[in-house]
Amino acid sequence: MVPEVGASPSSMAQPRGVKRRAAWVRDSYRRQNALFLAPYLLGTLVLVVVPALMTLAVSFTDYQGIQAPTWVGLDNFRRLTETPLVRFSLYNTLIFVVAAVPLRLLGSLGLALLLDGRRGGGLARAAAFLPTVLPETAYALVWLWILNPVSGPLNLMLGALGLPAPAWMAEAGTARLAIVLMALMQVGEGFVVLLVARQMVPAGVYEAAEVDGANRWQGFWHITLPLIMPWILLLLSRDLIVSVQNTFTPSFVLAYGGPYYSTTFLPLLIFELSFDFMDWGLASAVLVIVYAWILLLIWGARNLIEGLRRREVSDAR
Amino acid sequence: MRGRVATVLVHLARLGIALLSLLPLYWAVIISLRQSGQPPTTTLEWWPQSFHWDTYAEVFRTVPMARYARNSLFVVSLALPLTLLTASLAGFALTQLTTAWRQRLVTASVALLLVPGLAVWTFRFHILNLLGLVDTLWALIVPGLAGGSPLFVLLFYWAYWRVPHELYESARLDGADAWTVWRLVALPLARPTTIAAALLAFVLYWGDFTTPVLYIYSTKMYTLPIGLQLLRQMDETNLPLLMAAAVMMALPIVVFVVLVQVLFLRDRSLANMVDIE
């Protein structure tokens, strides 16, 4: 128990000791607090920051994992542009991002608007969330069956509707499309974030707009969308990199990057370069490009969201 | 009248989305009930044609799935509580910092959300190797020491930040230390967040395919996701067997999601659990 300052004459007589005791209690609270943060900060340092710095350093060296790294300057970055596998995988990744990210964002927004009911819709929300949290390997295996060109349910359904039945994972173009399709059903995270963002818009704002004669579409376009824009931008930045990472398991399990390397995206490339070819220098150079991309996204998200906030403040005035 | 039509349309669309989301898993269940090794038909089936539950037992006879399940359970049973403890404590500690430090660490954590795991795959291997953890199940557990992911720390931080700070202050004035304030004041008030984080952490560790692919080599250390991949490599055409294994692996997650929805939320949504209101 902390003695209450000024509670009794004896504590009045020893103001110094009481102060010291209060300070000690305060400091021990701070020490405990620091202790609580320690595992997170230390773990992040050891498992994220240090490996990232090592990558940065090794990208300028030749390192096969056996002998000590030797300095080669920008040689790895020159090799990046000359290695067909690297170029092709960057091209695949770009195609994936351009096709999947906008569609995923639209899907999240659509689900958030449609499944946002203060009453009911709870089970539909759980169902829409489920494909995102299923174990990746199990989900990929299920698609191995769905995408089977001859007996898979997707092609049987397309056939019944009189539509063409593609070869999916057996052909380069449709293999990429299949990976995009799988990613489109896993928008649970974005959908939950936008659902929460949407519910944070006070109901009074809509009532006021309704009084002014705004319809539903105007309500969405002029009220909801601007208010949840910072969340959309944060999601966009996250999806531009995280959806790429998430291609690893599907492309690994369904076709191991094939056919003809068409589903070799960045994660599989980095895996191959580091753990199959043991070319840690080249792998690090690829990762440095990824770091530049991440920094650009962080910087872009920060500026866009700050800009929106500033505009909101000036609008309010 | 127009309003009623719109409501019916919304409900139909919701039903459509729910069915579409469940369809892949449903198809997998149908095919898993065929006899192991039986080739699939070329007609669309909406209902199981047979109930060969033996296909599920066959999975355990084909690969040492029981051992992989034990390994997976070992990882989850240690990593999940560790993650909740470290993330919850870190999230609480963030709310108790001075404004300057709080802002710095929260901004850094949000920035970390944009850093994908693949950014550190290569040299995390070297660190784990130095620590002697490569090719042990500890390689899969150790991220739990760091709160699992900055997302969990932030979830807890946002939950604890919404609690009126006078509650923490008055407990402190009563002489409670930080551990007691966390355990008796903060933690009980953030129960929905703890459940949400538990669900997401379970998903993270139970389904993790990447980490064992990168850092586990001995077959006796394999976890379930690797077991599934092994099964696929053995016979890609035995779809009933593959789907049975996939369904078994997905089942705990489905049960977890449904339990959370039914027991804890009823009318509220998963979204409310991680609410940032």
Q: Would you say A194 and A109 are in contact if contact means Cβ atoms under 8 Å apart?
A: yes
Binding-face residues of A in 256-295 toward B, CB within 8 A: 266-267, 270-271, 274-275, 280, 283-284, 287, 290-291, 294
CATH of A71-316, one of 3.40.50.300, 3.20.20.70, 1.10.3720.10, 3.90.180.10: 1.10.3720.10
Check CB contact of A11 with chain B, cutoff 8 Å.
Answer: no
How far is A296 from A309, CA to CA, in rounded Å? Answer: 20
Binding-face residues of B in 166-225 toward A, CB within 8 A: 172-173, 175, 177-179, 182, 199-200, 203, 206-207, 209-210, 213-214, 224-225
- Minimal-distance CA residue of chain B relative to A39: B146
- Minimal-distance CA residue of chain B relative to A267: B118
Binding-face residues of A in 203-232 toward B, CB within 8 A: none
pLDDT tens track for A149-197:
888 889 999 988 989 888 888 888 899 999 999 999 999 889 888 988 8
CB contact under 8 A, B87 and A40: yes
Check CB contact of A173 with chain B, cutoff 8 Å.
Answer: no
Is residue A11 scored above 50 in pLDDT? no
How far is B214 from B230, CA to CA, in rounded Å? Answer: 15
Buried b (16+ CB within 10 A) or exposed e, B224-252: bbbbbbbbbeeeeebbbbbbbbbbbbbeb
For residue A185, the chain B residues in CB contact (below 8 A) are 21, 24
For residue B118, the chain A residues in CB contact (below 8 A) are 245, 248, 266-267, 270, 287, 290
CB contact under 8 A, A126 and B214: no
- Minimal-distance CA residue of chain B relative to A124: B18
- Which among B27, B145, B247 has CB closest to A43? B145
Q: How confident is the model at residue A316 (pLDDT cuts 50, 70, 90)?
A: low
Check CB contact of A242 with chain B, cutoff 8 Å.
Answer: yes
- The domain of B245 spans 23-273
Residues 6+ apart with CB under 8 A from A244: A93, A96, A97, A265, A266, A267, B116
Binding-face residues of B in 59-78 toward A, CB within 8 A: none
Positive/negative CA dihedral, B12, B16, B22, B27: positive
Q: How far is B168 from chain A (nearest CA, A)?
A: 12
CB contact under 8 A, A29 and B172: yes
Report the complex ipTM: 0.88
Tell me how crowded residue A68 is: count the other CB atoms within 10 A of its CB: 6
CB contact under 8 A, B90 and A34: no
CATH number at residue B175: 1.10.3720.10
* The dihedral formed by the CA atoms of B54, B55, B57 and B59, expressed in degrees to the nearest 10: 170
Binding-face residues of A in 296-315 toward B, CB within 8 A: 297-298, 301
- Which among A135, A143, A192 has CB closest to B274? A192
Place of tokens 């042990």: B136
Residue B210: closest CA among B129, B109, B116: B116
Check CB contact of A43 with chain B, cutoff 8 Å.
Answer: yes
pLDDT tens track for A101-148:
999 999 999 998 888 765 567 788 888 889 999 999 999 999 999 999
For residue A51, the chain B residues in CB contact (below 8 A) are 120, 122-124, 126-127
- Which among A40, A131, A280 has CB closest to B153? A40
Check CB contact of B255 with chain A, cutoff 8 Å.
Answer: no
B130 domain-assigned: yes
How far is B28 from B228, CA to CA, in rounded Å? Answer: 14
pLDDT tens track for B204-240:
999 999 999 999 999 999 999 999 999 999 988 899 9
In order along its 277 residues, chain B shows pLDDT tens digits of: 567 888 888 888 889 999 999 999 999 999 999 888 888 777 888 888 888 898 899 999 999 999 999 999 999 999 999 999 999 999 999 999 989 999 999 999 988 988 888 889 989 999 999 999 999 999 999 999 888 889 999 999 999 998 888 999 999 888 888 999 999 999 998 888 898 899 999 999 999 999 999 999 999 999 999 999 999 999 888 999 999 999 999 999 999 988 887 776 554 444 444 443 3
The number of domains in chain B is 1
CB contact under 8 A, B247 and A138: yes
Q: How far is B181 from chain A (nearest CA, A)?
A: 10
pLDDT tens track for B11-52:
888 899 999 999 999 999 999 998 888 887 778 888 888 888
Task: Pick the residue of A32, A40, A114 with the most B CBs within 10 A to test the interface with B by mutation.
Answer: A40
Tell me how crowded residue B271 is: count the other CB atoms within 10 A of its CB: 25
Residue range A48-76: mean pLDDT, rounded = 90
Q: Looking at residue B265, what is its pLDDT?
A: 58
DSSP string, A236-279: HHHHHHHHHHTTHHHHHHHHTT-STTTT--HHHHHHIIIIIS--
- Which among B178, B228, B270 has CB closest to A29? B178
Residue B186: closest CA among B106, B94, B92, B273: B92
Q: Looking at residue B2, what is its pLDDT?
A: 64
What's chain A's Rg over C-alpha atoms? 27
